[in-house]
Structure 1
């Protein structure tokens, strides 16, 4: 796939504005990631607020959907799901440290489950078995580290994940922007 196909139909890679936009957005994201890494507790609290706000908005949409469902029993189930979303979101917004603690437990469980799944898959397939075993073991070790350091890990883990994600997304977008600039200069 070439660069023009990746950008989509009608997109010009010759304009200087496009590559500058990617580099600018990438630099901003990387800077936000660096700022987040300076204060992981604040980044964790902010990440919890964002997740809580998104869940609250989702709960409101689900509640509207519950009232639009024709069958009463289905509407009640949708309404209960919406209330669960709204209650969980409210707890995360009112007490972000409790929300961060719950999210940290969820991350630990997810790491353990994905590590175990990769180990099982590694023994079912011979291709890339060693890498899959290594990946699974690393995920399980990460899950154990989260578990043994909990609840203290809930103070910094989400902030660290957010910082790493922002930095990596920013670097990726900047590199993509530089590749666009190179492609535009070739044309």
Structure 2
């Protein structure tokens, strides 16, 4: 049935709407994949763009926090909310005025996190020796190696580390959305074909069931 995806009023049926939703999801994933690939080609630009977006997010979060604090100024946490919102605003202004310096600070912070996380994984794996002993050691060694490499090239590494991580996140998120969208459309198509097959089988069996016995 070619028109099974549409209702009698011409609007798409539930299967058609669901298939279109999965199609839009796959299209969004393709956009994210392209953005991730462009970011990997221009990691310096991706780093600067990421820091600018981060600064604006801090500013917007600070403004929203201030509005929420003044709306609930009768609560006991009014001044704490004001201080947190003011810190967000100040951090957003600093990041927007000095995105390169903010990138250097965040890169060092990320490298220290990788290094500390890798050391703790290695120590925990050697002490516990659980079923994932080998995988834990590999993760810990990778984290230590990544932290050492980033720190060894700091502050020059701040020009590409954040942009690379952000672009890789966009790329993998986009691939995941494409997989979900394409798989969802296939599932909807299979369900629709199965429903059409049942409908045709039921239509053929109907007249025979109502024929009176000879």
TM > 0.5 fold call? yes
CA distance in 1, matches of 2:99, 2:162: 11
Deviation for aligned residue 1:34: 1.0
User: Secondary structure, in 3 states, of the residue corresponding to 1:69?
Assistant: coil
Question: 1:114 maps to what in 2?
Answer: 117
Deviation for aligned residue 1:58: 1.5
Gaps in structure 2 of 5+ consecutive residues? 1-13, 192-214
Are residue 132 (structure 1) and residue 124 (structure 2) matched? no
Are residue 70 (structure 1) and residue 71 (structure 2) matched? no
Alpha-carbon distance change, 186 to 146 in structure 1, aligned in 2, over 3 angstroms? same
Question: 1:166 maps to what in 2?
Answer: 170
Deviation for aligned residue 1:13: 6.1
Are residue 53 (structure 1) and residue 56 (structure 2) matched? yes
Are residue 98 (structure 1) and residue 101 (structure 2) matched? yes
Gaps in structure 1 of 5+ consecutive residues? 1-11
Name the count of aligned residue pairs. Answer: 175
Alpha-carbon distance change, 171 to 52 in structure 1, aligned in 2, over 3 angstroms? same
Residues 45-54 or 17-26, more deviating: 17-26
Residues 118-127 or 99-108, more deviating: 118-127
Deviation for aligned residue 1:71: 6.1
Question: 2:157 maps to what in 1?
Answer: 153
Can you list the C-alpha shifts for 1:88-142, whole angstroms capped at 9, x where unaligned? 1111011111111111112112212322232233232411011011101101110
What RMSD in Å do the two structures reach over aligned CA positions? 1.9
Question: Which structure has the bigger radius of gyration?
Answer: 2
